[in-house]
Amino acid sequence: MFLLPSSSEHDHQEGKNILIKLFKNGVLDFSKASEVVKQDREIAHQILDHDPTSFQYLSDSLKNDHDIAWKAVSLNGSNFQYCCEEFRNDKSWMMKALESPNGYCMLQYASEQLRNDEQVVMNAVSKNGDSLKYVSEELKQNKQVVLQAVSNDGLALKYAPENLENQNPLFPKQDRTVVMKAVKNDGMALKFASPELCQDREIVLQAVKNYGQVLQFAHDDLKNDLTVVLTAVKQGVLNGSAWCEPESVIQYASRELRNNREAMLKLLKYEASYLIANEDCRAQFETDPEIILQYHSSPYRMYGFGFDKLDESLKSNKKFVKKFLKLVPNEITQASEEIQRDRSFMLELLQETKRSFLSQVPKCYENDKDFILKALELKSLNLSEIPQHLQHDKEFMMQAVMYYTRHPIRREKLIPELWRDKTFMLAFISKDPFILITAHEEIRNDPQIILTALETCPNPLLFNYASSQLKRNRLFVLKILDLCGACLNYVDEELKMDREVVIRAIMQDGNSLKFAHESLRRMKDLTLRALDQKRTLFTVVHESLTCDKDVLMKIANQAKGW
């Protein structure tokens, strides 16, 4: 595959140059090239200069070639793993790999002899502490090697041996110097330290500064230390670690600390969801307005209380409700009935608390058109929640739809007459073209409706929902293809064989050629015309044209601009 036919040496060289250009531009995949191409030294040199990782796809004969392999390892050290055994047993090759880009983890592919070479090993663990795993057992007992490894990667401590050969033999996990160096690099290294060092406040503080969750490995006395716990919780949220959520840190604090109100006020500045996630904590503090507001004012919280989680006394407190809704946009109809009946206060809440919303129109406002329109304008009410008796008022609904923003619509809650009303649907679709998906069949057979949808959003999927009659209408299809060439995918099969229709599509989007009938896809002039369009992909070319010189040159020239 990917080998051009040639009738002369000149044509062969020209074909080779085209191939090299296509490989470099990413149009062709070198890994799928023919064995003849993978054995070519000239191509190998050019490809390695562009993408050194291509070394792995070269033929075995070139991988064993000293010059080619040395160049590959020099450009990208990870190529060392693909070298022959002779090269991988050579110290100079190992050192070259370690010094080259991406060669830091190549010790695992070295011979046993090189894994026992102190110079090689020190070089390797200084670049990748995890390489300690592959060091010989003898050198793992060398304290300097272990220190070098944990300085680079604290978690390398887990590969340290049971003892170190020095004047005062200690297990490395009991060696304060080794463990301190490890936790400074990665707090999680505390997991591999000895129980004695897990009582060391300085070491534990250093560890939780780097990774809060290691609080679980600290001694119980330190889990009752507010400074240590607060440091751990801060680290979890301030670093935004996806796998170190604040509640998974605070659960390791002592029960005494978790029951302390003053301590919780400090912790909840940084907590995300512990107040909700832990039942005991919630039961103790959920009626405390200061703690609830403190929790919700934290920029690091994961989620907030709903009205249903609040004490009834708080739901009737206007001052608290306003503060609460400013912090936590919520379902306003969960507030007390007294608050809901206060029209000016309700409008004030919707205006000031932004994303707070109404899941339905409160009964006291079911006939209040101004209130409903204001709620729609503030994006606090879904169009489909308008009371049904008002949906029969066309003038009102035309006003209402102007405030529609693309919230999910519950189709069954809008009366059937609206889905058949062309004027209403035109306004609706101009706001959200994908409403077409749930529109009535009569609407989807209306040319103006379909054109409006595609003018608003030229997405070919929309044309898929047009009626079969419109998909067969040649004049209408030509208009549609001026807006979105990819709609060719959904036109009637007969029109996919229409040359003028296909040309109209590819002039708007060259990639739409792939939707044409095969007889037209085989046409070289149409293929070249498609490739003249910006961002046309090689995949539109029919397999019968993939070796055509003009087509390949067009692809190569197109790729230059990418």
**pLDDT single digits (tens) 78-97:** 888 989 888 888 999 989 88
| Average of per-residue pLDDT across 15-43 | 78
Kindly state the tokens that stand for 345.
């206060």
Q: What is the pLDDT of residues 499-543, one digit of tens each?
A: 999 999 999 999 999 999 999 999 999 999 999 888 888 889 999
d(CA 286, CA 164): 53
Candidates 282, 351, 359, 297; CA nearest to 328 is 297
Confidence of residue 137 (pLDDT cuts 50, 70, 90): confident
DSSP 8-state secondary structure symbol assigned to residue 331:
B
Residues 6+ apart with CB under 8 A from 122: 144, 145, 148
Asked whether the predicted pLDDT for residue 382 surpasses 90, the reply is no
Amino acid 215 reads L
Confidence of residue 351 (pLDDT cuts 50, 70, 90): confident
Asked whether the predicted pLDDT for residue 412 surpasses 90, the reply is no
Candidates 234, 245, 294; CA nearest to 270 is 234
| Average of per-residue pLDDT across 201-229 | 95
Q: Is 161 left (phi over 0), alpha (psi -120 to 50) or beta?
A: beta
| Rg, Å, the chain Cα set | 35
**3 state DSSP class of 440:** coil
pLDDT at 11: 59
Asked whether the predicted pLDDT for residue 276 surpasses 80, the reply is no
Asked whether the predicted pLDDT for residue 170 surpasses 70, the reply is no
Tell me the pTM: 0.54
Cβ atoms of residues 330 and 356 within 8 Å: yes
- Terminal CA-CA length for the chain: 24
Cβ atoms of residues 488 and 510 within 8 Å: no
Kindly state the tokens that stand for 21.
């250009």
Cβ atoms of residues 477 and 495 within 8 Å: yes
Instruction: List phi, psi (to 5°) of 95.
Output: -65, -40
Residues 6+ apart with CB under 8 A from 257: 223, 224, 226, 229, 263
